[in-house]
Amino acid sequence: MKKFTAKIIAIVLSLACVLSFASCSAEVENGSKIERFTITVSLTPAEGEPITYDLHAKMYLNFADFTTKHVKDLIKNGYYEGVDVSALTSSYFSFGDRKVDLTKEDPLSERIDTNVNFITGQFSKNGYTGNKLSLTAGSILLNRTNELATVAGVTSKYNSGKATLTVAFSSSAPFSSQEYCVFAQLLSDDGNAEADESSVEYLSSLEKALKLKDYLETAEGVKVYRLEQDVVKNEDLSADADGNKWLAGTCFTYAENEAGEETYFKGVYLNGNPENEITGEELATLKTKLASNGVAITIPVVSIKVSVSLEKQGCAR
């Protein structure tokens, strides 16, 4: 069995909001007041020195008024402190709904947004016409599920947004602005032209964000997946005497053996040869789930911490 030693650690976000208001006039862009904020990213690879950089973004207060207020309130209340990036794909990453305890032999990704209120979706499919933002590279949106939720007496899957934020790497991310509320945008023109072209400082905020795609897998090709749905029916879980409860949130490790064959293991393995290989019907079931869009999500394989703060408002950078 091929050994791999790269640490597999979920991306952790520590979102802290530091408010600082300036006396300059409010910025307006495309007919909306904007509020600028910074996402500070600190990546800790399995090998090498930590890397820290800032992603600058702006939220559009008038296009999605109560969405931006909802997100700002969560930040100010410390909700995002220590949460994990719950999804990292080639077209987006998300955070704000889960935490993972990777010290456990079989870590589960646990939801943390149970007590967060639902919010009405501010997009056209939900009858809202005031949001002029479309999905582009660097768009930041409030994610939602397909579960029915009731807000102000209206029940709809479009009202199921809570706290999960998604940053799109491109317009091909599977989140139409007609069905998801895009409320903010990473800057694409803030790179330091005087910095060395090989440095992080030379890159724009959008270009820095795109570097996260490098951590979809380890150098050895090891990936970690998390299920979004139960593999076995809920009513059957308590009857599983072996403890093999494939709950939504269960993590799986993918690797290749010495013969180059695909192998899958239940759990997240930090070092050495993994155990608990999945075979037979269980493997067939898992592969079916992995192939289903939205059922299984790739999670990151390095430690990445993030903090978020609101910038001084009304003063263009």
Name the nearest CA neighbour of 36 among 15, 16, 61.
Answer: 61
pLDDT in tens, 217-249: 888 888 888 887 765 544 444 434 444 556 677
Sign of the torsion angle spanned by Cα atoms 25, 26, 27, 30: negative
Neighbours of 2 (CB within 10 A): 14
State how far the Cα of 63 lies from the Cα of 43, in Å rounded to an integer: 33
Q: Binning pLDDT at 50, 70 and 90, where does residue 18 land?
A: very low
Rg value, the chain, Cα: 21
| Tokens coding 287 | 């592969």
Sign of the torsion angle spanned by Cα atoms 65, 66, 71, 74: positive
Instruction: Give percent of the chain with pLDDT exceeding 70.
Output: 76
Name the nearest CA neighbour of 93 among 238, 289, 309, 304.
Answer: 304
Q: Binning pLDDT at 50, 70 and 90, where does residue 148 land?
A: very high
- What is the average pLDDT score of the chain? 80
pLDDT in tens, 171-215: 999 999 999 999 999 999 999 999 999 988 999 999 999 999 988
Counting every residue, how long is the chain?
317
Kindly tell me if the per-residue pLDDT of 134 is higher than 50. Answer: yes
pLDDT in tens, 36-93: 988 877 777 666 677 888 889 999 999 999 999 999 999 888 888 777 778 888 999 8
State how far the Cα of 32 lies from the Cα of 61, in Å rounded to an integer: 6
- Res 208: pLDDT: 94
